[in-house]
Amino acid sequence: MQLSDRVGRRIKLHDLHVLMAVAQTGSMSKAAALLNTGQPAISRSIAELEHMLGIRLFERSRQGVTATKYGRALLDGGTRVFDDLRQAFRSIEYLADPTAGEIRIGANPFLAAGFVSATIDRLSRQYPRMVFRVVPGNIATLHRALVDRSVDLLISRKFGPISDETIRFERLFEDRYSVVVGANHPLAGRRKLELGELMKQRWVLPSPDGPLGSVAIEAFRTAGLAYPRAAVIGPAEVRTSLLATGQYVSIVPNSVLRFSVERQNLRVLPIKTRFGGVPVGAAVLEDRSVGPVAKLFIECCREVAKHRTS
């Protein structure tokens, strides 16, 4: 009998669950506490898996356990199994009650607070019992969450080509950038400004090494200027908060000005210099079936993008 046949007859979902808990915690004892069982039961499940497969799934040391290459391969398969089951259960729940359901959405803070929130507001009016879990993060963190299947989809900007063939990206709209200040900033009422006039202002900026920073650097370079000296370099939440004080100048995606409630506290400065546009879209795993609630959410994203960015 081949290995795949033996596994199909003998492997248990419980053993895969134990495997994932051990990998997550890095310890048999911690996995036992997580699963509310005894350590001997955890060790027995792992030992039975290793015996059946004829390979070591974990390397043991005083610091704990780490998955071998065989263990990582089985973990990847186990993740897919449980994800497929979750998707199946969600489909059943949706078929039983199309007005309910749950979706996990990954997005960076600006898109989460703007475009994603606008889409949720629109969809939840039609389906008030739906649950939306928004997971914020940077591009690297969100990409990992999608691959690990801890989110159903991403709403993200596409900085450069997506080389990962496992991800499918659907463009929703083009997001450009504007130079903005708070509503009570001294420059908020100006009708004409050159970018060079702002070089001595107090700038709160993204890191020049990040994706948004590279867009800004290119715009300043095109205008014959160096990247301004930043008074503060920080994440989106910090930049938005400091803009509200009326003391700072920053660069903000136009999607914030279209969708976010923060737009009421911001004023776009009349700068002729154009900042490059970046596609924003929905990203899903190529080999993963998109559940009915996720399909509804993406359809709603298309509608919001079409009506609010046209």
Q: Containing domain of residue 206, as a range? A: 175-277
Residue 115 pLDDT exceeds 60: yes
For residue 172, what pLDDT is reported?
Answer: 95
Considering the domain architecture, whether residues 194 and 206 belong to the same structural domain is answered as yes
DSSP code of residue 114: I
Q: How confident is the model at residue 10 (pLDDT cuts 50, 70, 90)?
A: low
For residue 92, what pLDDT is reported?
Answer: 73
Give dist(CA 285, CA 151) in Å, integer.
10
> Mean pLDDT of all residues in the chain?
85
Residue 8 pLDDT exceeds 60: no
* Residues contacting 64, CB < 8 A, separation 6+: 26, 27, 30
DSSP reduced 3-state for 112: helix
Q: How confident is the model at residue 15 (pLDDT cuts 50, 70, 90)?
A: confident
For residue 218, what pLDDT is reported?
Answer: 84
| Positions of E strands within 9-77 | 58-61, 64-67
For residue 109, what pLDDT is reported?
Answer: 87
CATH label of the domain that carries residue 159: 3.40.190.10
Considering the domain architecture, whether residues 163 and 287 belong to the same structural domain is answered as yes
Domain end position, chosen among 63, 79, 95: 79
Q: What is the mean pLDDT of residues 64-79?
A: 85
C-alpha neighbours within 13 Å on the C-beta side of residue 290: 18
Considering the domain architecture, whether residues 164 and 293 belong to the same structural domain is answered as yes
Considering the domain architecture, whether residues 75 and 191 belong to the same structural domain is answered as no
End-to-end Cα distance, the chain:
61
Q: Is 229 left (phi over 0), alpha (psi -120 to 50) or beta?
A: beta
For residue 261, what pLDDT is reported?
Answer: 75
For residue 308, which of 72, 35, 117 has the smallest C-alpha distance? Answer: 117
Q: What is the mean pLDDT of residues 119-138?
A: 92
Residue 307 pLDDT exceeds 80: no
DSSP string covering 219-271: HHHHTT-PPPPEEEE--HHHHHHHHTTTS-EEEEEHHHHHH-GGGGGEEE--B
Question: Tens digit of pLDDT for each residue in 214-255?
Answer: 888 888 888 888 888 889 998 888 888 899 899 999 988 888
Considering the domain architecture, whether residues 114 and 137 belong to the same structural domain is answered as yes
For residue 79, which of 5, 134, 23 has the smallest C-alpha distance? Answer: 23
Considering the domain architecture, whether residues 126 and 70 belong to the same structural domain is answered as no
Domain end position, chosen among 79, 100, 120: 79
Residue 7 pLDDT exceeds 60: no
Considering the domain architecture, whether residues 184 and 157 belong to the same structural domain is answered as no
Residue 168 pLDDT exceeds 80: yes
Considering the domain architecture, whether residues 151 and 189 belong to the same structural domain is answered as no
Considering the domain architecture, whether residues 182 and 268 belong to the same structural domain is answered as yes
- The total number of structural domains that make up the chain: 3
Considering the domain architecture, whether residues 263 and 204 belong to the same structural domain is answered as yes
Taking the whole predicted model, whether its pTM rises above 0.75 is answered as: no
Q: What is the mean pLDDT of residues 136-151?
A: 88
Question: Tens digit of pLDDT for each residue in 277-289?
Answer: 889 999 999 878 7
Q: What is the mean pLDDT of residues 87-114?
A: 80
Considering the domain architecture, whether residues 213 and 294 belong to the same structural domain is answered as no
CATH label of the domain that carries residue 19: 1.10.10.10
Question: Tens digit of pLDDT for each residue in 183-198?
Answer: 999 999 888 998 889 9
Considering the domain architecture, whether residues 194 and 241 belong to the same structural domain is answered as yes
Domain end position, chosen among 47, 79, 111: 79
- Are the C-beta atoms of residues 64 and 39 closer than 8 Å to each other? no
Q: How confident is the model at residue 310 (pLDDT cuts 50, 70, 90)?
A: very low
